[in-house]
Each structure stands twice: as C-alpha cells, then as structure tokens.
Chains A and B, each alone.
Chain A
Amino acid sequence: MAQAIEAHDLVKTYAGDVKALNELSFSVQQGTVFGLLGPNGAGKSTTVKILTTLSRADSGSATVAGFDVASQAEMVRRNIGVVQQGTTVDREATGRENMRLQGQVYGLRGRGLENRISELLDRFALTDAADRIARGYSGGMERRLHVAMALINQPSVLFLDEPTTGLDPEVRADMWTEISRLANDQGLTILLTTHYLEEADNLASQLAIVDRGRVVAEGTPEGLKADLRGDAIHVELAQAEGNGHVTGALAELGGIREVAVDGRTLHARADDGARAVPVVLQALESRGIDVASVSVARPSLDDVYLRYTGRTFDKAEAEAGEKSR
C-alpha cells in the first residue's frame, strides 16, 4: 500500500448551492507529510471531514489507509487520528481523563491503556498538568493534548486540520517542532491543512494548493517554487523615470525576464538573482538611471499561489472573510 490517502473527484455542495468541493483530487504517499494549502473557505476542512468519515461527499470516492471512506468507514476510523480545527477536548475533564475516554472508545483498557496514556502525556510534556482540569490549560497545552489524544490508537494516518490557527507565534513554533517530530515516526502519514504559507513550506514534503474546491497545483514546496523559474528582483529607483526608458535599458540583457515598472519600483525575474544584480545595475547606470536600493527574493509560495489562482493569497483570504460575514 503505497498511497495512504487517495481522493478522486470529490464533490460537496452545501445547502444554498454553496459548492465547497469541485472535483477535488489528490493522493498522499505513505509516510509523508502532505500539506493542503489554501485560504479560508477553499474546501480544506470539508475535505478533512469527508476523509475522516464525519461527512459524506455528494460524488467522487476516497480511500484512507486502504479503506473506502464511504463503504468501510468503520475500518477507516480505527486507522486514523484526527486533530480537528479549534480543539475538541472536553474542558470539564482532566488531561488524563480525556485521554482515557479517547482510548476506551477505541477498545483500549486496563494497564495497557494507562501505560499508553502516560507515555503520550510524557511525550507531549503534559505529565505535570495531566490531572488538572483542561479548562485551565493554555492554548498550546490544549492543542498538544488534542494531538496526544489523536495518537492513542496508534493511527497510520494523522489528520491535522489547521493545527496552529489561533496560537501565539512562539506556541506555533513549538507546535511545528512537535509536528516535525511526528513526521519522523515510522510509517506515519500526516495530512496537514493550513492557510499559513510558511507552515506549509516548513512542514510539508508534498503540497496541494486548493482554491475554490479544486487542487490547482501539486508538488513539493521546492518544486512548485522552482517551476516559477527564477528569483524576483526588485529595484527601487531614486526618482521616477519614463517606463520605456527603464525597460529599454534592460531589454537587451540576457536572462532578465518579466520586466515591469510601477512608479519608482522595477520588478524583474532572473534564473540566478544574485548574479543578475550587478548586470542590471550596470545597465541602469549606463542610461543615467539612479538606483536607491535593490533586493532579491527567492520565489515564495505566495508567488506560486498568485500564479495558479490569479490572485494573491492575502486577497483570497480577505474575500473569504467577506463571504463568511
């Protein structure tokens, strides 16, 4: 079984003709960390709900850990762990009680269960807080408890739905460390959804960019960025110049593409940004154009998103925010 998750043409329409998924397909290799990246409302959570058997697709099919999510839901459930958006721990119970109930419903009991609980609490640095009511936990502790609960049945596929949304930056960094450690677990496949570009970039070995219920691009973060071919060069001019004058200066240079001038800012793309900078500066100087500053940036996932969807990630997020209001 090489594929831990396979989704084929998933379609889901909510009441009021809201199309959440529009023939969404992707597959996840066993033992990898797969990121579903997209703005809020792109369909990531709906995908997770279908793959974890909580919800059903209108059409299309999917398998998780080799079992069909519709016809073999019971087997899927036994083989997955899920950390849903927000946290779903019982705040009126202690950490240990939460863990125990979660273990019990998977059929674990007695000494074996208690040992597993202690081991997981220890692993997620919750031993000291284990017998305190979860209501008093910090956001980070609650999230760690949730991950520990999701691992109680030793799942082969772990779903993390927006695992760091709502966490402070430093707590988020801790969570990233935890997730990276999980990724080293033997054979564990992780499906991570996120609307943080850096998070996908940092954690996922494979990535699918989701937009309006479809996968618009799939690959490794590096591969997706490499597909954009080249670094972005931004030149800040000392004063506004005629656009033709500036572009003309760079027209004959080899390896400099996509030259665009916007007021005093010049954008261009080159295969090797660092090498292109002196050439660009020389060409501008020879035409008497003064330069205030230069910067070179590796292509970011934001650039990737822009290329495949035609809008920047921030703009898509803002649109989603307006829609949900």
Chain B
Amino acid sequence: MTVTLRHSWYMTVRHLRALWRQPAWIAVTLVQPVIWLLLYGALFKRVVQIPGFQGGSYIEFLTPGVLVMTAFFGAGWGGMPVIDDLNRGVIDRFLISPVHRVALVTGRIVQGSLAVLVQSAIIVVLALITGAHYRNGVGGVIVMIFLAMLLAAATTAWSYGVALYVRKEETLIALMQFLLLPLTFLSGAFMQLSLVPGWISTIADYNPLNWAVEAGRSAAMKHTDWGFVASRTGFLLALLAAALLFATRAFRSYQRSI
C-alpha cells in the first residue's frame, strides 16, 4: 500500500512537472474558469426572475455548477496524454517495471485533483467578490470542492481506461465531445432542475455530474441537506471505485492485445 502511494506520487511529480513547463497550459487553466463564471453569469442573469427560482443571486447559484463543470472537463480530457504515453511506449516501460498499475492511474488523478483545487479556489474567491454568499462558511466550501475533486478523480480514471481501449486520439476526442457538454447541460449546473422539462431532471438524477453539482450547492449554499450531501458523496465514491477497477482491467486487456 505504501509502495503504491509512493509510486503514485512519483507519477504525480512527473505529470505536474510536464505541465509546469507549459506556461500556456497554466494560463488557460487559470483563466478558463474565470471566463465561464463571468460569461455564464452574464448570459443567464435573468434566470433568477423566473417564478419559482429559489437560488438567490445567479452567481451564487452558478458557482457550484462552473466549479464542477471545470473539474469535469479537465478530467474528461485526462485520457489524451495517456494516448501520447502509449504511442511513445512510456506506458509499456512502466508496465514492465515494478510499478503497480493503479499507481499509473492515481498519479494522473492526483495531478488532476491538484489542478481542480487551484481552479476551484479561483472560482470560489471570484464568486465571493461578485456577490455569492457561502452560508455554511469554509466548511461548506471545502465539501463543495471535495465533491468536484471526487467527480474529477472518477472521470480521470474512466478517461484513462477508455484511452487504453481506443488507443486513438481521434476516437477519444469524438467520444469526449459527445459526452462532456450534454452531461453538463443534463444537470442542475446552470438551471434549477424544478424549472426544466421532466425528462431532463429524471436523467439528471442519474448523472454523476449532477450529483456533484447539487450536493456541492447544498453543502455550500442555501437549503443545506447533509443527508443528501452524504448520499451523493457515497455515489461518487462508488463511481470512483468502479472507474479504478475499469482502468485496471483496461491495462489487462491492453497487455493481452499486444
């Protein structure tokens, strides 16, 4: 176990270092959530005037949505560098070393989670400045960020596994394009679910992204329901476990095929 943790950290360092050396990546990563928050905040500003909206200011309502969306998108593309590593034989080199397979995945997860943490901090502060009010203080904010990181971790593991199966950048891009935006809009990220068509809110009940958004909003903002937060946290943990299992199996399938 400790060896696996240590190996995960070695891999994390490798990924962080590679990103650290790409100033453009850092700039985009930091600016993007700001743009989303301000853009969507302005675009849907009038949503609060719809009868039945209970969210307070729209920025306050939107903050968990942008936070989770940012985490989800970043993690969704997590499989891309995996394909690069596969093509270069880097994955093969690690597979024939004593590294545990899970450490290869968790290394990416930890790196992605750290990115989510930094992005979330920016969003939380910016939202505070533009008028959001966190009713449960720092504790609620931490739970909200934790839920976003949990979703990102599960998504990274799925993306990693899919990358091992498809092994082609084009396929992975097509698949992610197909999934990321629809899953974002089939949730309560931008709109209160009681105000959308019934079929959307039904799908949203089963959408992991929505679990993170609604539970995060519940933890940090008004109408806190800790039982709901706990159950959705449990769902996301189960999803992460399933995703890790999937990614580990994907290694086995990859090794059988070569």
Residue contact A88 to B96, C-beta cutoff 8 Å: no
Given A101-B14, A105-B7, A82-B93 contact (CB < 8 Å): yes
The CA-CA distance from A107 to B21 in the complex, in Å, is 27
Whose C-beta in chain B lies nearest to the C-beta of A150?
B93
Q: Chain A contact residues (Cβ within 8 angstroms of B): what range? A: 20 to 34
Q: Specify which chain B residues have a CB less than 8 angstroms from the CB of A106 in the assembled complex.
A: 97-98
Partner of A54, one of B6, B18, B95, B99: B95
Q: Specify which chain A residues have a CB less than 8 angstroms from the CB of B98 in the assembled complex.
A: 74, 77-78, 105-107
Q: Specify which chain A residues have a CB less than 8 angstroms from the CB of B21 in the assembled complex.
A: 92, 133
Q: Specify which chain A residues have a CB less than 8 angstroms from the CB of B88 in the assembled complex.
A: 86-88, 90-91
Within 8 A of B (CB), among A72-119: 74, 77-78, 80, 82, 84-88, 90-93, 97, 101-102, 104-107
Q: Chain B contact residues (Cβ within 8 angstroms of A): what range? A: 20 to 34
Main secondary structure of the interface of B (DSSP, over half): helix
Residue contact A86 to B89, C-beta cutoff 8 Å: yes
Whose C-beta in chain A lies nearest to the C-beta of B15?
A92
* Interface: B226 (CB within 8 A): no
Q: Chain B's nearest CB lies how many Å from the CB of A98?
A: 9
* Interface: B46 (CB within 8 A): no
Stretch at the interface among B58-66, B108-116, B180-188, B250-258: B250-258
The CA-CA distance from A88 to B95 in the complex, in Å, is 12
* Interface: A193 (CB within 8 A): no
The CA-CA distance from A106 to B98 in the complex, in Å, is 6
Within 8 A of B (CB), among A9-56: 14-15, 49, 52-56
Q: Top 3 A-B pairs ranked by shortest CB distance?
A: A88-B89, A92-B18, A88-B93
Given A92-B17, A101-B10, A77-B92 contact (CB < 8 Å): no
Residue contact B96 to A102, C-beta cutoff 8 Å: no
Q: Could you give 19 example pairs across A and B, Cβ below 8 Å?
A: A54-B95, A54-B96, A54-B255, A54-B258, A78-B98, A80-B96, A82-B93, A84-B89, A86-B89, A88-B89, A91-B88, A92-B17, A92-B18, A93-B17, A101-B10, A102-B97, A104-B7, A105-B99, A106-B98
Q: Chain A's nearest CB lies how many Å from the CB of B215?
A: 36
Residue contact B257 to A84, C-beta cutoff 8 Å: no
Main secondary structure of the interface of A (DSSP, over half): loop
Question: Could you give, for residues 4-28 of chain B, a 1 whenever the CB lies within 8 Å of some chain A CB and a 0 otherwise?
Answer: 0011001001100110010000000
Residue contact A56 to B96, C-beta cutoff 8 Å: no
- Could you list which residues of chain A lie within 8 angstroms of chain B, going by C-beta atoms? 14-15, 49, 52-56, 74, 77-78, 80, 82, 84-88, 90-93, 97, 101-102, 104-107, 133
Given A55-B255, A56-B255, A56-B256, A88-B97 contact (CB < 8 Å): no
The CA-CA distance from A80 to B256 in the complex, in Å, is 21
Q: Specify which chain B residues have a CB less than 8 angstroms from the CB of A102 in the assembled complex.
A: 97
Q: Specify which chain A residues have a CB less than 8 angstroms from the CB of B93 in the assembled complex.
A: 82, 84, 88
* Interface: B90 (CB within 8 A): yes
Given A88-B93, A92-B21, A101-B14, A55-B7 contact (CB < 8 Å): no
* Interface: B94 (CB within 8 A): yes
The CA-CA distance from A54 to B96 in the complex, in Å, is 6
The CA-CA distance from A90 to B89 in the complex, in Å, is 9
Q: Specify which chain B residues have a CB less than 8 angstroms from the CB of A87 in the assembled complex.
A: 88-89
Question: Could you give, for residues 61-96 of chain B, a 1 whenever the CB lies within 8 Å of some chain A CB and a 0 otherwise?
Answer: 000000000000000000000000000111011111
Q: Specify which chain A residues have a CB less than 8 angstroms from the CB of B97 in the assembled complex.
A: 77, 102, 105-106
